[in-house]
Amino acid sequence: MTSDLNKDWTPTFGTVYTWFAMDKEGRIAVMVNNCWGDLPQSVLNIPNAEPLLDDLNDYIWEESNKYTDYPQDKAGELIVDLYSYWSNKDRYRKKVSIRTVGRIGKWHGYIIDFYCFFENKTMIRRKITKKLTAELKRIKNYSDANFSVNKGYFLYFAVDGYNEGDDYPVGYKGATKIGDYYRYLVPTVYASIEGFPQELWHGIAVSDTLDFTKDRMLDNDKINTYFPRNYRN
């Protein structure tokens, strides 16, 4: 099988890649590039990198025909950290606007902003957690929550959007841009590389500086600095 991933690859609209990373303490993260996040050169330089990532993805989704020995579920807690504004921007704003416009006059804008601020800080996070919990019960290994709760992986997403500012991670106070990776789900019981088939270990990018329990945002421009090498068996 040929691979579209090579040293000259660049992110492009319409193609999402999921790759895998290990921090300095040996914890594992699933990294979803949402079209715009870079992949480390250490991954891109692997011959036939794409089939290797496919094998890793098949394994974590428990769809692999090659590797069927899966670790026991870790049964951890579900923790939502940062989440996408782009994916959740319509959860509440339209509802409040329709209900208030024309009824409370010139002050409606301030009230809408207050409700939306409150919703972003509390209610939307609760709704996301409730939705993820329901998905975990219904489809288990096909749910994002399964990665953190039962597999023990951190889950990072890249900032999405058509233009800068369309998306940002709610809960993070600093500046971000399209392609930066933010921490979405946090496990309470951690996986390690030993939870993967040894034949796939070399597909996991390694950082000697990051700590996934502390580093919530990863600058896309520094992805090769964070992950200068892949695991060597």
pLDDT at 90: 64
Asked which of 77-91, 97-111, 172-186 is least confident by mean pLDDT, the reply is: 97-111
Q: Please give the Cα distance from 146 to 28 (Å, whole number).
A: 14
Coil, strand or helix at 72? coil
- DSSP output for 176-221: --TT-EEEEEE-SS---GGGS-GGGGGGEEE-SS--TTT--EE-GG
Confidence of residue 97 (pLDDT cuts 50, 70, 90): very low
What's the rounded mean pLDDT across residues 87-105?
A: 53
Structural tokens at position 115: 């409700």
Q: Give 31-64 pLDDT, tens digit per residue.
A: 999 999 999 999 999 999 999 999 999 999 999 9
pLDDT at 22: 98
Q: Please give the Cα distance from 29 to 81 (Å, whole number).
A: 14
Q: Give 102-155 pLDDT, tens digit per residue.
A: 444 555 555 555 556 665 566 788 999 999 999 999 999 999 999 999 999 999
Cα distance from N-terminal residue to C-terminal residue, the chain: 23
Q: Please give the Cα distance from 2 to 164 (Å, whole number).
A: 33
Quick check: pTM over 0.85?
A: yes
pLDDT at 124: 84
* Residue % of the chain over a pLDDT of 90: 76
Query: Has residue 1 got a pLDDT over 60?
Result: no
Q: Which residue has the higher pLDDT, 126 or 188?
A: 188
Residue ranges per domain, the chain?
18-86+140-230
